[in-house]
Structures are given as structure tokens and as C-alpha cells.
């Protein structure tokens, strides 16, 4: 069947990354209007409401076992810090620049996967990651060279670098989680636990967003759970090191969304970096397909 084709995990992961990038744009808009905390809390709560009936309909064994539940809680806690710090940074710098800085995460995760998951790091995965990161450096240099460094931009860059470290851990946990639970279960528990964590601070930090921001948050919630399910499906069927270069395609979508929604220009450096990113993804997919066929 087509769903068992060795390229399907790459297609699922690539679609999930594209979906997540559109969600990032909606959440940047909502965060500007309503604040990062309020936007994140409502997005997570809506995501849990959306996924609860889907998870219960698909649940075969009822409540997750202890190992799966521990991973659900751990990854959700990591993602709560990761997403909040990322959107804090994203409202202070352009989307493309923010995504470029966040791409230190797959390089960190490549080696975390070897330590935590026992995966062997193949030469195609290393070459693909280096090429992809080279593309990101080209784009980031072009972006950072366009303007001065303000205090707010400095805070944004620091927040996104923190988010990138947490994202690397998240990528490895994602692979472990995908091997223990179905996508619907993962999407529900991640949204639910993040909402619980943020709700503890809501008496001090929450503010009701304006109507336009609520629409962006609702769209972000739908896209977030859809992306989580796609990524979980892909990571359950391919090694983390093979899929990590696919993360770099987020820059393509983020640059487009930044231009469309916020008027952020796409530069020659962006186009040059995209070429390297696409080549990196092709090398990773080809290397994984050859290993699968053996």
C-alpha cells in the first residue's frame, strides 16, 4: 500500500512542518494582539478540546500506560517552555530570522538521538544536517545584516536560542513518544498538559484576547494538533536522524508566511539557503530509502 512506501514518513513530516509554520504565523499575530501567555493557554486548551473526542474514539486500551503517560507529561512540559519562549522571541524579530536561529536544534537533536535512542549516526544524516545548517547560516547572515540590534531584538534572539535547546530535546522525546502511543493520543495529551501547566499562572498573566486574535488562536489550535499527528505518524516510522533535516523546510514556509502576513521581505540570501535546505532533505530521504530497502 502507498502508506507503507518508505518515503511516506518524509511526506508526513514535511507536511507537518509546513502546517506548523502556518500555525506559527497565526500565533505570532495572536501574540502581538493578546500577549504570548494568553495566546498559548487558549491554543492549548482548544487543542485539547478538539482532540479529546478523537483520542477517545481511537483509544484501544483506554488510559495510556505508565511509560507513555510519563513521556506525555515530560514532553508537554518541555514544549510549554519551548513554545512560550519561541513566540516571545518571534514577536520581537522577523519570522524567517527566528526560524533560522532555531535551526541549531536539529543539530543538537541529531546527537541526542544517538545518546538517548541508541541510533547510529550515518554519514548521509550528518552530511544532510551540515548542508541544511549551512543553508540556514546563509539566510541568517542575510537577515541579521539588514538592520541594527535593538534591546528587544536581543531579547528575542536569546529567547529563541533557549527555545532551540528545548526543541532539540523535544525532537528526541517525539521519537520515543511516537513508538509508545498513537498520534491522536499524543496530540491530546500534549495540548492538555500544556494547558494545565499554563493555567497555574493564569490568575496573574491571562488577559482575554480581542476577537481577531481569538480567530487566529482557534486556527492555530487546529493546525497545531494536525501537525502533531502528522509528525507523530512520521517519527513512528523513520529514525529521528533521518527526519531531522526535514525540519529545515520550516524556513521556506516561514519566509513565505512572514512576507504574506507581516510584509517581511524574502532576500537573495533566503533563496540561496533554500537550495541547500532542499538538497539536504533529498540526501536524507535517499539515504533512508536505501537503508529501508536493504
Q: Please provide the average confidence, as pLDDT, over all residues in the chain.
A: 83
Burial level of 89, CB count in 10 A (0-12/13-18/19+)?
A: buried
Cell of 198: 499554563
In this predicted model, what pLDDT tens digit does every residue of 196-205 receive, in sequence order? 999 999 999 9
* Res 96: pLDDT: 82
User: Contact 178/172 with Cβ under 8 angstroms?
Assistant: no
In the predicted model, is pLDDT for residue 110 greater than 80? no
How many CB atoms neighbour CB 4 within 10 A? 7
In this predicted model, what pLDDT tens digit does every residue of 26-65 receive, in sequence order? 999 999 999 999 999 999 999 999 999 988 887 665 788 8
How many CB atoms neighbour CB 8 within 10 A? 16
* Res 293: pLDDT: 47
In the predicted model, is pLDDT for residue 163 greater than 90? yes
Nearest in space to 90 (alpha carbons), one of 201, 220, 243, 269: 220
Report which of residues 222 and 142 the model is more confident about.
222
* Res 200: pLDDT: 93
* Res 221: pLDDT: 94
Cell of 201: 499562572
In this predicted model, what pLDDT tens digit does every residue of 89-105 receive, in sequence order? 999 888 888 888 787 77
How many CB atoms neighbour CB 152 within 10 A? 12
Report which of residues 146 and 52 the model is more confident about.
52
Q: Read off the pTM.
A: 0.80
In this predicted model, what pLDDT tens digit does every residue of 259-289 receive, in sequence order? 999 988 777 777 787 777 777 767 766 655 5
In this predicted model, what pLDDT tens digit does every residue of 58-81 receive, in sequence order? 766 578 888 888 999 999 999 999
In the predicted model, is pLDDT for residue 117 greater than 70? no
Distance (Å) of CA 172 to CA 83, 107, 192, 209, 227: 16, 12, 20, 34, 17
Domain extents in the chain: 2-120+148-240
Amino acid at each position: 500500500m502507498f502508506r507503507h512506501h518508505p518515503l511516506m514518513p518524509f511526506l508526513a513530516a514535511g507536511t507537518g512542518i509546513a502546517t506548523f509554520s502556518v500555525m506559527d504565523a497565526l500565533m505570532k499575530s495572536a501574540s502581538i494582539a493578546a500577549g504570548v501567555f494568553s495566546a498559548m493557554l487558549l491554543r492549548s486548551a482548544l487543542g485539547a478540546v478538539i482532540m479529546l473526542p478523537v483520542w477517545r474514539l481511537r483509544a484501544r486500551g483506554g488510559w495510556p500506560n505508565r511509560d507513555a503517560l510519563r513521556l506525555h507529561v515530560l514532553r508537554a512540559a518541555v514544549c510549554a517552555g519551548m513554545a512560550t519562549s519561541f513566540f516571545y522571541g518571534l514577536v520581537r524579530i522577523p519570522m524567517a530570522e527566528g526560524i533560522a536561529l532555531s535551526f541549531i536544534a536539529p543539530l543538537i537533536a541529531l546527537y541526542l538521538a544517538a545518546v538517548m535512542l541508541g541510533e547510529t549516526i550515518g554519514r548521509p544524516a550528518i552530511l544532510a544536517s551540515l548542508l541544511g545548517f549551512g543553508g540556514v547560516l546563509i539566510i541568517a547572515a542575510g537577515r541579521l545584516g539588514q538592520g541594527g540590534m535593538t534591546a528587544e531584538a536581543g531579547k528575542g534572539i536569546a529567547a529563541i536560542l533557549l527555545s532551540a535547546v528545548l526543541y532539540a530535546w523535544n525532537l528526541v522525546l517525539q521519537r520515543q513518544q511516537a513508538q509508545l502511543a498513537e498520534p491522536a493520543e499524543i496530540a491530546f495529551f500534549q495540548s492538555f498538559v500544556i494547558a494545565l501547566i499554563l493555567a497555574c499562572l493564569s490568575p496573574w498573566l491571562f488577559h482575554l484576547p480581542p476577537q481577531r486574535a481569538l480567530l487566529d488562536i482557534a486556527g492555530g489550535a487546529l493546525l497545531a494538533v494536525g501537525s502533531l499527528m502528522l509528525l507523530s505518524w512520521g517519527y513512528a516510522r523513520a529514525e529521528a536522524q533521518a527526519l531531522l533535516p526535514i525540519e529545515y523546510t520550516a524556513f521556506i514556509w516561514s519566509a513565505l508566511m512572514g512576507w504574506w502576513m507581516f510584509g517581511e521581505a524574502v532576500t537573495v540570501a533566503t533563496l540561496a539557503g533554500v537550495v541547500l535546505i532542499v538538497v539536504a532533505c533529498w540526501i536524507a530521504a535517499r539515504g533512508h530509502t536505501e537503508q529501508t530497502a536493504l
